[in-house]
Amino acid sequence: MASNQDAADLGSPQALELRLSLIPPGDTVRGYFFNCALEQLRLHGNDEALRRWTEAGGLAAATAFFKYPMTDLLRLLYHVAWALMDSAGSFEEALRRLGRWTAKEFLRNSVGRTMLLVAGRNLKLLADGLPTAYRTGWEHGRGSVTWTGVRHCLLSIHGNVVPYPYFEGVFLEVFQAAGAANLKVKGWQVGPAETRYALSWD
C-alpha cells in the first residue's frame, strides 16, 4: 500500500513526468475521457485553466469514440486536477471527482446502460464484467478481478499510469448506481503503472 509520502507525491510535476515516461508508444484512449475532463473545467467556470490548456496545444474537444494518445489524456487529467484541487481540497480528491463524473457520464450512454442492465442487482456479475468494459475505452493496460469473499473483491489495473483516486471515483459511482449497500472502495498504488482496489458491500 502507498505510504503517506507516496500519496503526497501523486500530484507533483515529477510524478507526471515519470508516468508519461512509462506509457508505451501507441497506447490510446477514447476521446470520451477527454471530454469528461474538459467538461469539469467548464462546469466549474475555470476558463483560465481551459485557456491555458488549449494555448499549450491541448484538445478543446474530442470525438467520443475516436482514439487519442494516452500521453495527452494523462497531461489533461493532471492539468484539470491541479486546477480543481483548491475547491476539491486535494489533488487526490480532485482526481476522485473526475473519476466519478466520468463514470456518471459513461452510465448514461448505451454501453454503460447495457452494462448495468445485464448485471441487474448482481454485483458479482458487474465486477466480473469490468475488465471487458475497461477494454472498450482504454488501449492502455488491462484489468483483472480476484474474489476474496462473497461480497469482497480486489480489482487490479495493470499497466495504466493514471493515479488510483481516479478509478476509486469510477468504481464508487458504478457500484452505487448498481445499488451496492454500505459500499467501501479503497485504492492504492502498487507501482507507478499498477493500482489495486479493495471493494466490499453488504
Q: CATH code at 22?
A: 3.90.1520.10
Cα 137 to Cα 158: distance, rounded to the nearest angstrom: 15
- How long is the chain? 202
Residues 126 and 178: beta-carbon distance below 8 Å: yes
Q: How many domains does the chain have?
A: 1
Cα 139 to Cα 176: distance, rounded to the nearest angstrom: 26
Q: Is the pLDDT of residue 8 over 70?
A: no
Amino acid 2: pLDDT: 44
Find the mean pLDDT for residues 11-16: 96
- pLDDT tens track for 68-113: 999 999 999 999 999 999 999 999 999 999 999 999 999 988 888 8
- Provide the domain limits for residue 62: 1-202
120 pLDDT tier (thresholds 50, 70, 90): confident
> Which residue in the block uniquely carries the three cell numbers 466490499?
200
Cα 42 to Cα 74: distance, rounded to the nearest angstrom: 19
Residue 61: all three cell numbers together:
474537444
Mention every residue, 6+ apart, whose C-beta is less than 8 A from residue 167: 99, 157, 187, 195, 197
- pLDDT tens track for 22-79: 999 999 999 999 999 999 999 988 899 999 999 999 999 999 999 999 999 999 999 9
Over pLDDT 70: what percentage of the chain?
96
Find, among 32, 82, 40, the residue nearest to 61 by Cα.
32
Amino acid 95: pLDDT: 97
Cα 40 to Cα 51: distance, rounded to the nearest angstrom: 14
5 pLDDT tier (thresholds 50, 70, 90): very low
- Alpha carbon separation from 54 to 14, 18, 41, 48, 191 (Å, rounded): 22, 23, 12, 10, 31
Query: Would you state the torsion angle of the CA atoms of residues 129, 134, 136, 138, taken in this order, to the nearest 10 degrees?
Result: -170
Q: Provide the mean pLDDT of the chain.
A: 93
138 pLDDT tier (thresholds 50, 70, 90): very high
Amino acid 3: pLDDT: 39
Indicate yes or no: pTM above 0.75: yes
Cα 202 to Cα 192: distance, rounded to the nearest angstrom: 32
